[in-house]
Structure 1
Amino acid sequence: MKTVHQLELVPLGNDAWRLCDGNVEATDATSVVAYVERRGVGYEVVWVSARRGVERLATLGDVLERAAEVLADIPPSGATRPIEIPHFAPVPPAIAV
């Protein structure tokens, strides 16, 4: 496994890797950034997390650099402050006469 910053290339076979974000738990599906496969003289990258389609790059170094750019463009998906809900006083029940 090759790690660059938070990116990890996890081997899937001789010429294929899963590119993962090491900052996300490995059991979380969102940790997968892309699938990478050696194709002739370059690498084919199928982006998973950023929905950027398929891209061909010359080296694994280029793949890691591009992935760092892609991750920088993705807004964090962490918890945010709750949305304020206006509070209204309860309506008293109607009195039958």
Structure 2
Amino acid sequence: MTMTAPEPPKPASIWEVIPIGRAAWRVCDGNLTESDASRLIAYVDKNETGTLDVLWLRSPCPTRSRYRSMPELIADLDRAVAEHIISRAMRPTEIPHFPPQH
């Protein structure tokens, strides 16, 4: 019998995409209250070529700042948050200690 490790659970999208203009949005964390400043994750603007430019305002966030679509942006945000959760759960890297040199 072959056993495989289960995949880590994927985070549920908790992001609220709120329009603030004809081609601009705010991405907010739906788990936080409206009065919490850390609720605001990013500002998104659609540029003249149709791509989305993102200004990330909170960590963890993806390293990219340009996307072709909002679903692609949200999926990348989910992935960055999941990786952050996994990396925080791992043991820290040990720093080698050497005896003093004489």
| TM-score with structure 2 setting the length | 0.61
| Aligned residues between the structures | 72
The amino acid across from 1:14 in the alignment is R
Higher helix share: 2
CA-atom RMSD in angstroms: 2.2
CA distance in 1, matches of 2:15, 2:74: 7
Alignment of 1:50-69 (within 5 A): 50=59, 55-69=65-79
Higher relative contact order (CA 8 A, sep 6+): 2
Q: Which runs of 4+ in 1 moved over 6 A?
A: none
Identity of aligned residues (%): 26
How far residue 26 of structure 1 moved from its aligned partner, in angstroms, is 1.7
User: Highest CA radius of gyration, 1 or 2?
Assistant: 1
Tell me the alpha carbon deviations over residues 6-59 of structure 1, each in whole angstroms, 9 at most, x when there is no partner. 100011100000000101112101011111111122100111012757610111
Normalised by the size of structure 1, how large is the TM-score?
A: 0.63
Relative to its length, the structure with more strand (as a share) is: 1
Question: Structure 2, unaligned stretches of length 5 or more?
Answer: 1-11, 86-102
Q: Answer yes or no: is 1:43 the counterpart of 2:43.
A: no
Contact conserved, 1:35 with 1:47, CA < 8 A, in 2? Answer: yes
Contiguous gaps of at least 5 residues in structure 1: 76-97
What does residue range 14-93 of structure 1 map to in structure 2 within 5 Å? 14-39=22-47, 40-50=49-59, 55-74=65-84
